[in-house]
């Protein structure tokens, strides 16, 4: 089995550095990432393609859900996700795209050629290690970026992207998958629930890029390759990504004021999604 996971819904104990589950009454030696808090309700054991085992522990702490912060203009930030620059915020802050998969392509192609020719277990293991390293690097970047946004803002406005449709474009598919937009939004959403922050979404067909945020002119000729454009109405040179982020913030606040964004309030992420995405923060290594 290359990888997978299974749930243990009950009879889970942690005693003297061991995980005790049905059929393993003597316990399994584990390395704790951090102490558990509350009553254990479930354990999910997973195996990575490289042969590492992890167990995620779901506990009931009894802590109340934090109330949502009040939505205000000065504590809201709009963000525009991209490929060349990973994220541009309406306050001007930018996050570079690390492009972990693209940087690892030369090594991956070399090992893939070797594996295709020899089909050896050793080469297959090397390939799995490289893919796991890329996945871990990407996950760490997404957690750091999402945590910084959640920490510094009460409300975050984003565009409701149809990523599943976007990856059908073969020219962009690998870059979009490498960026991990869907995973990033999921992480952002459940962290917002944990810390009482707001995620405000606008429709994917809003003219966030083509509408000049300052004068209201719509540039109907704008293309994806136009990183900057000159407004024919006011003459200002417009940065497409920053302009989009500002518009995303404005559109989301307008939706809130008009009462059309009620669907974004009060939603909780599923436990399964939260466990899967945050596994490296709440996991325990089994057997080193």
**Residues annotated catalytic, as ranges:** 80, 159, 241
d(CA 10, CA 198): 34
Q: How many residues does the chain have?
A: 288
* Residue 69 DSSP SS3: coil
Q: Which of 200, 190, 184 is nearest to 247 (CA)?
A: 200
182 touches 104 (CB < 8 A): no
* Residue 108 DSSP SS3: helix
DSSP secondary-structure letter at 264?
G
What lies within 8 Å, CB to CB, of 284 at 6+ separation is: 19, 30, 31, 32, 33, 54, 55, 57
Q: Which of 159, 151, 160, 161 is nearest to 197 (CA)?
A: 151
CA-based Rg of the chain, rounded to a whole angstrom?
22
CA 10 to each of CA 13, 19, 115, 286: distance values in angstroms, whole numbers, following the listed order: 9, 13, 41, 19
Q: Which of 181, 160, 254, 247 is nearest to 210 (CA)?
A: 247
Residue 34's CB is within 10 A of a number of other CB atoms, namely 9
d(CA 84, CA 106): 20
d(CA 46, CA 30): 14
Q: What are phi and psi of 104, to 5 degrees?
A: -95, 0
């Amino acid at each position: 089995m290359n990888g997978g996971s299974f749930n243990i819904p009950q009879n889970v104990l942690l005693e003297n550095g061991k995980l005790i589950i049905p059929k393993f009454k003597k316990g399994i030696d584990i390395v704790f990432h951090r102490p558990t808090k509350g009553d254990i309700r479930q354990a999910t054991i997973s195996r990575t393609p490289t042969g590492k085992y992890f167990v995620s522990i779901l506990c009931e702490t009894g802590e109340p859900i934090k109330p949502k912060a009040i939505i205000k203009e000065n504590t809201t930030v709009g963000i525009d996700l991209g490929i060349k620059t990973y994220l541009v915020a309406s306050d001007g802050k930018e996050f570079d795209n690390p492009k972990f998969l693209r940087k690892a392509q030369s090594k991956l192609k070399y090992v893939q050629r070797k594996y295709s020719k020899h089909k050896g277990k050793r080469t297959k293991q090397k390939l799995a290690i490289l893919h796991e390293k890329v996945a871990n690097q990407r996950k760490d970047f997404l957690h750091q970026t999402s945590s910084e946004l959640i920490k510094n803002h009460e409300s975050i406005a984003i565009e409701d992207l149809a990523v599943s449709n976007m990856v059908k474009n073969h020219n962009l598919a690998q870059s979009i998958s490498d960026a991990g937009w869907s995973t990033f939004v999921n992480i952002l959403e459940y962290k917002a629930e944990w810390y009482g922050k707001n995620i405000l979404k606008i429709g994917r067909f809003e003219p966030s890029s083509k509408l000049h945020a300052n004068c209201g002119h719509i540039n109907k000729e704008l293309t994806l390759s136009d990183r900057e454009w000159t407004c024919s109405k006011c003459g200002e040179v417009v940065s497409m990504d920053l302009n989009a982020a500002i518009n995303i913030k404005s559109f989301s606040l307008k939706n809130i004021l008009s009462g059309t964004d009620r669907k974004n309030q009060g939603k909780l992420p599923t436990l399964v999604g939260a466990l899967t995405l945050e596994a490296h923060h709440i996991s325990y290594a089994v057997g080193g």
